[in-house]
Amino acid sequence: MKLLSDNLSPKALLHPMRVRAFTLVELMVTMAIFMLLVLAMVGVQVFGFKINSLTTSKLKTTAYSLKALNQIQTQVRGASSVVVGNGGSLASFTSTGTTGTALLITIPTGGNNLLYLSTNTGVLYEIFSANNQQITVASNLTNQVVFQTVDYRGTNISSTGLENFAIRMTLQFFQTNFQVPTNAYEYFTFQTEMTPRTQD
Amino acid sequence: MVIRKKQAAKSRAVAAFTLVEVTMAIGILVLVMAGMIYGYVQTNAQAEWSSMSLSVQALTVQSVEQARAAKWDVYSTPTPGTTNEFAVGTNTTVFTSAVLIPSSGTTMNVTNVLQITTVTTIPALRQIRSDCAWTFPNTGATFTNTVITYRGGS
């Protein structure tokens, strides 16, 4: 940086631009420092985006699991009957009694709710017979079997003619977090059981 | 920056930043950025802990629900209350590879201890307590999720 004197030489007065500007070295050093700062800030931002993506997927799966747990557990506990089977609608539901992608819940006050997994889209839906409304319970699922009928030891059984059983629900989530520079995935398994209280 | 020589000569501290000032500014910037990064990492670790805790909590509930699904006939003969599938006592189960560790895709075992105790005989009432112990891989700390419920005989 050039400092101006009160007593400038005649040469300097003739060429004021030469003394007022930054030198090339000053500019280059400043730009280098600025570039380093910008790179550091960009690095922090990119890192933040990645962590944000990682956190979002975890929270999303946690939220889906909680929603599924709260919604399904309450319904199964209060149901007059629960049947495991397959099918993507109330009309096409077929009972297997052992394992399947769908769960038919009969409500004591009347009507049925059907929970089913669409294996094509990996989404767990619920259909209410009262208004034929369909809602999404969980998405990004990869498993093929969601519901199982088990006994008190957790052994897979048939619910046909059985007095005491529990319904096991397994949700396996798989999501892509980010793809740059390498692919990063998120895995999450959620498994629980619920027992209709009408068995007591 | 254009500064008169006289002014600069009088006060050099005003004219430009000193090396100490620049170093301190950079130090503060580094601290702020380190804090930001730590915040990001901590948020992610907390989300990971929450997801794993929920997964273990579901397994804890699973054990309780299995105990509730078991037969317990209080009117059985010759001794009322003895015909049951889950007797009073402690049952330890290890859920093998039950919990997936986020991001890594590896699995973790969870040890479950199910305790069934008699609260009262008349009316027939039992307490079902389920404890699931698990280790958080990031810190190595051990946590226990507990569910306690009561069940009447049928």
pLDDT tens sequence across B79-115: 555 556 777 888 888 888 778 777 777 888 899 999 9
Q: Which residues, 6+ apart, have CB-to-CB distance to B4 below 8 Å? A: A3, A4, A5, A6
Return d(Cα A172, Cα B108) in angstroms, integer. 15
- B149 sits in which H/E element: strand B142-152
What integer is the mean pLDDT of B15-29? 89
* Partner-chain contact A3 B66, CB within 8 Å: no
**Strands lying side by side in the sheet with A166-178:** A99-100, A147-150, A166-178, A184-194
ipTM of this complex: 0.75
**pLDDT tens per residue, range B36-55:** 999 989 998 998 899 899 99
Flag residues of chain A having pLDDT under 70. 1-19, 159-163, 199-200
**pLDDT tens per residue, range A95-135:** 998 999 999 999 988 889 999 999 899 999 999 998 889 99
pTM (2 d.p.): 0.78
- Would you tell me which residues 32-71 of chain B have a C-beta closer than 8 angstroms to some C-beta of chain A? 33, 36-37, 40-41, 43-44, 47-48, 50-51, 54-55, 58-59, 61-62, 65-71
- Residue B95's pLDDT is 86
Place of tokens 């990492």: B41
- Residue A178's pLDDT is 78
Strands B142-152 and A99-100, bridge-based pairing: unpaired
Q: Are B65 and A193 spatial neighbours (Cβ–Cβ below 8 Å)?
A: yes
